[in-house]
Structure 1
Amino acid sequence: MVSAQLLQDHQHLFKAEQGQVLDLACGKGQNGLYLKQHNIDLLFADIQQVHLANLVTHEDVEQSNVWCADFESETQIDAIKLSKMQLQGVIVFRYLHRPLFDALKKSVKPGGFVIYETFTKQNKQFGRPNRDQFLLKESELKSLFKDWEILFYFEGIKHNPDRAVAQIVCQKP
Structure 2
Amino acid sequence: MQVANLLQDHLHLFKTANGQVLDLACGQGQNGLALAEAGIEVVFADIQGAPLLALHEQHNIAKEQLWQADFESEQGADRFKLEQLTLQGVIVFRYLHRPLFEHIKQAVKSGGIVIYETFTTENRQFGRPNRDDFLLQKDELKSIFKDWEILFYFEGIQHNPDRAIAQIVCKKP
Q: Distance in 2 between matches of 1:3 and 1:16?
A: 20
Give the conservation status (yes or no) of the 8 Å contact 2:21–2:88: yes
Closer, same or farther: CA 40–84 of 1 in aligned 2, 3 Å: same
1:2-41 equivalences in 2 (<5 Å): 2-15=2-15, 18-41=18-41
Measured after TM superposition, the shift of residue 2 of structure 1 is 3.5
Aligned residue number for residue 92 of structure 1: 92
Q: Give the counterpart letter for 1:58 in structure 2.
A: Q
8 Å CA contact retained: 1:20, 1:42? yes
Give the Å deviation of 1:17: 5.3
Alignment partner of 1:103 is 2:65:
no
Q: What is the number of equivalent residue pairs in this alignment?
A: 173
Give the aligned residue type for 1:109. K
Matches of 2:44 and 2:139 in 1, distance apart?
Answer: 28
* C-alpha contact (below 8 Å) 2:3/2:34 kept by paired residues: no
RMSD in angstroms over aligned alpha carbons? 1.0
Map 1:123-162 → 2, pairs under 5 A: 123-162=123-162
* TM-score after normalising by structure 1: 0.98
What is the alpha-carbon distance in structure 2 between the residues aligned to residue 110 and residue 159 of structure 1?
34
Uncovered stretches (5+) of structure 2, i.e. residues with no partner: none
Shift of 1:60: 3.9
Instruction: Give the distance between the partners of 1:131 and 1:44, measured in 2 at CA.
Output: 26
Identity %: 65
Counterpart of 2:122 in 1: which secondary structure?
A: helix
| Residues 14-93 of structure 1 aligned to structure 2 (within 5 Å) | 14-15=14-15, 18-93=18-93
Q: Tell me the amino acid that sits aligned with residue 6 of structure 1.
A: L
SS in 1 for 2:99: helix
Deviations 1:100-138 (A, max 9, x none): 100000000000000000000000000000001000000
Distance 2:15 2:8 in 1: 14
Distance 1:19 1:60 in 2: 20
CA contact (8 A) 1:16 1:39 kept: no
3-state secondary structure, aligned to 2:10: helix
Runs of 4+ aligned residues of structure 1 deviating over 4 Å after TM superposition are none
Amino acid paired to 1:19: G
Alpha-carbon deviation of 1:59? 3.9
Q: 1:13-65 CA distances to partner (integer Å, 9 max, x unpaired)?
A: 00365110000000000000011110000000000001101010134411111
Contact 1:2 1:34 in 2 (8 A): no
What letter is aligned with 1:117?
Answer: E
